[in-house]
């Protein structure tokens, strides 16, 4: 196994520090100085490893996403049936050590900047695309293509919404509640797909 170059280590430390500061301070309060302090370094070092503030936080978003993504992928690897794959995605998105208010706060701050940062937008798009395709890998075979698409959209929205709720009112949604909620949604949709929806 190849040893890590010092630069890579620093970069990782710094983007983690950036994310940590984001959790506490939000995008407006997340300054280079604070990030440096949190990493136990000087401001200069931050700009030595990242061209500018934007780039730093773009990497912070990638980092955070990778963590969440790994949780899902790990579960996905052990899933055999479509239902198991579905559950893997759902449960992975609410893993105990991830489904926490601070993480959500940081994520929210980054999402709020998406409209003004092309790179962030691209990252966001990739993230969402992967979540969607993970879901579809389970939903195919359980229902028609059109319904699968529709349900996948619903599930992603529901998951995002539950995360948001956690961030806005910590404690109002438990991990178990969230999982039950999403699973309930999926099973209800799958069971009722042949019935038309309510009124216009």
The DSSP H or E segment spanning 118 is helix 118-139
Which of 125, 126, 144, 145 forms a contact with a copy of itself (CB under 8 A)? Answer: 125
Which of 25, 55, 63, 95 forms a contact with a copy of itself (CB under 8 A)? Answer: 25
Which of 12, 26, 37, 41 forms a contact with DNA (CB under 7 A)? Answer: 41
Number of residues in contact with DNA, rule: CB under 7 A?
A: 20
Contact assessment for residue 18 and residue 56, using Cβ atoms and an 8 Å cutoff: yes
**Rounded Cα–Cα distance for residues 163 and 152 (Å):** 17
Which of 37, 47, 83, 190 forms a contact with DNA (CB under 7 A)? Answer: 47
**Rounded Cα–Cα distance for residues 130 and 26 (Å):** 26
**What is the per-residue DSSP string for 134-169?**
HHHHHHBTTB-HHHHHHHHHHHHHHHHHHHHHHHHS
Which of 37, 67, 98, 158 forms a contact with a copy of itself (CB under 8 A)? Answer: 158
**Is residue 79 involved in binding DNA (CB under 7 A)?**
no
Contact assessment for residue 134 and residue 72, using Cβ atoms and an 8 Å cutoff: yes
**Is residue 78 involved in binding a copy of itself (CB under 8 A)?**
no
What lies within 8 Å, CB to CB, of 63 at 6+ separation is 12, 15, 16, 19
* Residues in contact with a copy of itself by the rule CB under 8 A: 25-29, 83, 87, 101, 105, 108-109, 111-116, 121, 124-125, 128, 150, 153-154, 156-162, 164-165, 167-169, 173, 177, 180-181, 183-189, 191-192, 195, 197-199
Binding site for DNA (CB under 7 A): 5-7, 10, 29-34, 41-45, 47-48, 52-54
């Amino acid at each position: 196994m190849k040893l890590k170059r010092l630069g890579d280590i620093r970069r990782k430390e710094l983007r983690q520090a950036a994310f940590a500061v984001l959790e506490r301070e939000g995008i407006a309060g997340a300054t280079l100085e604070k990030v440096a302090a949190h990493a136990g370094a000087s401001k200069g070092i931050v700009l030595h490893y990242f061209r500018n503030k934007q780039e730093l936080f773009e990497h912070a978003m990638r980092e955070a996403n990778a963590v969440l993504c790994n949780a899902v992928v790990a579960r996905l690897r052990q899933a055999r049936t479509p239902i198991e794959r579905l559950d893997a995605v759902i449960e992975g998105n609410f893993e105990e050590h991830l489904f926490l208010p601070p993480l959500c706060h940081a994520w929210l701050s980054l999402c709020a900047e998406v409209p003004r940062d092309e790179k962030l937008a691209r990252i966001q798009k990739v993230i969402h695309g992967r979540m969607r395709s993970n879901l579809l890998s389970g939903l195919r075979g359980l229902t028609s293509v059109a319904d699968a698409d529709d349900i996948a959209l619903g599930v992603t929205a529901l998951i995002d919404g539950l995360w948001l709720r956690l961030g806005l009112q910590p404690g109002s949604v438990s991990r178990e509640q969230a999982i039950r909620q999403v699973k309930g949604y999926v099973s209800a949709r799958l069971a009722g797909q042949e019935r038309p929806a309510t009124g216009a």
